[in-house]
Amino acid sequence: MGKVLFCFGVISLVFAIVFNIVWWYGVKVGCVDYLKLTGDAPSIQRAGQFLDEALGYIEKNGLTSGNSAILFRTPTSDVGIWYAQIKGAKETIETIIKKKEQDSISQLERDNALMKVREVVLDEGKKGTEVTTPPHLSWFPYQVLITLWWILTIILFVVGGIWWAIIKIEPPRHA
């Protein structure tokens, strides 16, 4: 029985790792990388293009409301607030682009708009500049189920491994 539990734990671990990598990569490529490019954009037009890509991914994947917290819901884990902030940055860009088309915008206004957008999409973190996203975004909206999957996987792996090891150690019983 220990061997079976251990095998299920190993299989579940492999699937959990693969699925987590796929989910993380999807969010990274479809959203996070574009938000980073938005923050680093040299012009309002480029920032708008990158932000359009990120917003397209966000809206297509339903990352517009809810909370990505696993246990304690906080404003930083509120997906709706994060989405509204990004939409606000997009509105700022659109306003500046309209003013530019009318030739009624100074370089200072353009630079201030780029700084405002950068402040929305990027933060200074422990490792330097990081893209602002709610925690566990790649797991959203199933973050609780995925956490339970990881817990169950670890339990199966550890309990099965210990049980299997104990059975191997016990000397055979003779009648």
In tens, the pLDDT along 43-53 reads 999 999 999 99
Phi then psi for 125, rounded to 5 degrees?
-115, -170
Rounded Cα–Cα distance for residues 111 and 68 (Å) = 33
Does the residue 11 lie in any domain?
no
Residue type for position 166:
I
In a domain, 150, yes or no: no
**pLDDT tens, 119-164?**
999 998 888 899 999 999 999 999 999 999 999 999 988 888 887 7
The tens digit of pLDDT for each residue in 65-100 reads 999 999 999 999 999 999 999 999 999 999 888 887
Q: How many angstroms separate the CA atoms of 143 and 71, rounded?
A: 10
> What is the number of other CB atoms lying within 10 angstroms of the CB of residue 18?
10
In this structure, is residue 96 part of a structural domain? Answer: yes
Contacting residues for 121 by C-beta, under 8 A, at least 6 apart = 35, 36, 38, 39, 51, 86, 89, 131, 132
Q: What angle do CA 107, 115, 81 make, to 5 degrees?
A: 135
Residue 47 structural domain: 20-142
Report the number of distinct structural domains present in the chain.
1
